[in-house]
């Protein structure tokens, strides 16, 4: 079976939600799923919910660096090392343990911020095992990523409560 690359991108809410929905669908069909989250802590509701499902592995996010715009140069360097190592460990695990679906949540952000080399992501996508489906999420995918992908779904914000000063709510936005 040919595997495909999916991108969920855009400025709207729901990119991670779409990826998690696909992960649950894949698991419901007997597939083994690996999810790695970049730039996010493990305090989101989906992490707890997914931890109860066998054969959906969510890689723990062991370090938090805060918002990129607030990081010092030293923190950015440390974050780059951490996220590059996290990516390598994830890619190796996906191949070594024969996963069927790999979700790289917010991978576009870490690439766009220069914390992970996009070139490495592209190399992996072109050389991955034939049966490994891959989902990439985040804003502003590069032309190279869009060209490489089989699916590109843009989630566009039309209206959001944040515009009215309503902060993110547990169980809804995270």
Give dist(CA 57, CA 53) in Å, integer.
8
Asked if residue 1 has pLDDT above 70, the reply is no
Which residue from 170, 16, 39 is spatially nearest to 115, judged by alpha carbons?
Answer: 39
Q: Answer whether 71's CB lies under 8 Å from 116's CB.
A: no
Which helix (H) or strand (E) element contains residue 106? none
Asked if residue 84 has pLDDT above 90, the reply is yes
Q: What is the pLDDT of residue 85?
A: 97
Q: What is the pLDDT of residue 66?
A: 86
Q: Which two tokens stand for residue 91?
A: 């890619």
Which residue from 130, 159, 164, 116 is spatially nearest to 11, judged by alpha carbons?
Answer: 159
Q: What is the pLDDT of residue 21?
A: 96
Q: Answer whether 15's CB lies under 8 Å from 46's CB.
A: no
Q: What is the pLDDT of residue 87?
A: 98
């Amino acid at each position: 079976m040919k595997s495909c690359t999916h991108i969920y991108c855009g400025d709207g809410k729901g990119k991670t939600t779409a990826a998690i929905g696909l992960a649950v669908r894949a698991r419901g069909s007997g597939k083994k799923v690996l999810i790695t989250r970049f730039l996010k802590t493990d305090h989101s509701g989906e992490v707890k919910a997914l931890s109860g499902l066998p054969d959906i592995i969510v890689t723990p996010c062991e370090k938090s660096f805060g918002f990129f715009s607030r990081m010092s140069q030293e923190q950015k360097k440390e974050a780059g090392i951490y996220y590059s190592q996290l990516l390598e460990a994830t890619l190796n695990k996906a191949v070594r343990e024969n996963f069927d679906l790999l979700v790289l949540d917010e991978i576009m952000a870490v690439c766009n911020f220069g914390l992970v080399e996009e070139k490495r992501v592209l190399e992996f996508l072109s050389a991955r095992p034939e049966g490994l489906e891959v989902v990439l999420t985040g804003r502003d995918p590069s032309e190279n990523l869009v060209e490489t992908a089989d699916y590109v779904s843009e989630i566009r914000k039309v209206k959001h409560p944040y515009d009215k000063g309503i902060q993110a709510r547990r169980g809804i936005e995270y």
